[in-house]
Amino acid sequence: MALITVARKSQIANGKMLGVEAGGRKLLLANVGGTVYALDAVCSHMGGDLTKGRFESGIVICPRHGAQYDVKTGTVVKNVGFAGKALTAGRGASGQQTFKVVMDGDDVKVEV
């Protein structure tokens, strides 16, 4: 595991998110109430890019089939609907890996 500087906190206003890359992975940084969280930006369902999704009240919504994840824990709070599952052989979302975030002044560092 390495602690990698990926952004400045001033780049991510409260209620906003930012896509970054670290350790060969695409990550999503999300600011919830002044705290920055990091999770895998590639949707566990079918690889949708969560950085292109909507972000509301600590929940990111995948732009492909609508799975919703809590950015603090990576857990699925709403899975893909019937139509999304029908299009993907019954497959559902399983959750996103999260990563430890360390603040160092304005630097946002992620352990990957």
Residues binding ligand FES (CB under 6 A)? 43, 45-48, 62, 64-67, 80, 84, 93
Give min distance, CB of 65 to ligand FES, in A: 3
Q: Number of C-alpha atoms within 13 angstroms, CB side, residue 39?
A: 26
| CB nearer ligand FES, residue 54 or residue 100 | 54
Distance CA 93, CA 82 (A): 12
| CB nearer ligand FES, residue 7 or residue 42 | 42
Distance CA 41, CA 105 (A): 24
Give min distance, CB of 39 to ligand FES, in A: 13
Cα–Cα distances (Å) from 94 to 38, 74, 97, in that order, read: 17, 9, 10
Give min distance, CB of 104 to ligand FES, in A: 32
